Structures are given as structure tokens and as C-alpha cells.
Amino acid sequence: MGGCNLACRWCDTPYTWDWTGVGDSGVAYRPRDELHPMAWREVLERLRAYEVPMIVVSGGEPLSQQARLLPLLRALIDTGHRVEIESNGTVVPLPELAGLGVRFNISPKLAHSGDEEERRLVPEALAALAAVPGTAFKFVCRTRDDLDEVASIVDRYGTTPVWIMPEGQTPHEVDRHIAALGDDVVARGWNLTTRLHVAVWGDRRGV
């Protein structure tokens, strides 16, 4: 999904929103090259053609367009798909969406994203998302200090279960960060994940 309400420095999908080059890459992407409006029924047909059991909706920030997503998500569920939505956790989900049976994978952003705290941590959105059964919270981290920041967010907003994912857009960066984090994550009783697509494909798009 195109467009995002945040502007994380290290965003790995800047081509969905960075039209001015504010991200670390400094590249100003062109919306006319990157965004391709499609009717939801056409999206549905293209997704069904993959013949996969689960669809993950990502972005950008998908919940910025949640009302327009509803017919597509309903149709996917009606045709037997499981649906997961990736979100930065700053948008309160519509009741119709929260009750649809989708799983939310919420990634609240830490200070190293460069986003202001009032924009990246929205208490009412985090509370509403935490109340949806099955929601998981995934934090992008680099150092052990980041884990203290995660603990503070968990204390304040009840954002569990916690998954820690190393930041990195190359296998080397991911390996370095996960090595720095692993022992502490285990000691805190949280879940640790790598970035499998980066290990396999690096920063290639469309995989």
C-alpha cells in the first residue's frame, strides 16, 4: 500500500512514501512511478491467482486506507484466505476491521526512527490494537539500549506479545544486530526473529 504517516530514517520501503528524499537513502521517489491505483476487485483477482493460503498487507501504512481496504479483506476471508496486516500502530482500527478476524502485526517505532514520539506512539491506537485477539507487536532494534526503550513502551501500553527484529537491509547488518540483541531478548522472555527475506534476497524489491 502506498503512503505512510511516518518517515522513518531507515525505512526499507521508502519507495511507498518518500517523495522528497528525507530517508537515509536520500532518494526522492516519484509517485507516478511507484503508485498504481487499482480497483479492489482487480487486486482480489491478482491475489487469488497466486493460490496461496495467506495474504499479508503491508506498506507504507495500510491502515491509512483501511476503509477502502475493507471490501478486499472481506472478499479474501470469504474465499478462505488468512489475512495479516502490517502496521506502525498509529491508527485506530475501524470496528469492522478489528472484528474481521485479520491478524495485526504491529511495529511501533523507537526513537532511532527519527519520528517524533507524539507521532509514532499513539496511546489510543496501541490500546485498540492490543485489544484485538491475536495481535503481535514487533519492534525493530539495533542495540541493547533499544530493548530498554521497548520495555518502557510495553510497560506503558501493554503491547504484548513482543517480537524483536534486527534492523538491517543487508544480511551483514541483520547478522550484526541480531548478534548484539539475542542474549538479552531471550533473558527478557521475548520472541526473536530474523529477516528471512533479507537473508535470501537482500534488499531486492518484489519478493
Which residues of this protein are in contact with ligand SF4, per CB under 6 A? 4, 6-8, 11, 13, 59-61, 88, 109
Task: Let me know: does 70 contact 97? Beta carbons within 8 Å.
Answer: yes
> Is the CB of 76 or the CB of 88 nearer to ligand SF4?
88
CA distance 153 to 203: 29
Is 161 labelled a binding residue? no
| Pick 44 or 87: Cβ nearer ligand SF4 | 87
Q: Rounded CA gap, 62 and 39, in Å? A: 16
Q: Is 138 annotated as a binding residue?
A: no
The CB-of-109 to ligand SF4 minimum distance in angstroms stands at 6
Q: Is 79 annotated as a binding residue?
A: no
| Choice between 6 and 70, CB closer to ligand SF4 | 6
10 annotated as a binding-site residue: yes
Minimal distance, residue 24 CB to ligand SF4, in Å: 11
Annotated binding site for [4Fe-4S] cluster: 4, 8, 11
Annotated binding site: 4, 8, 10-13, 58, 60, 107-109
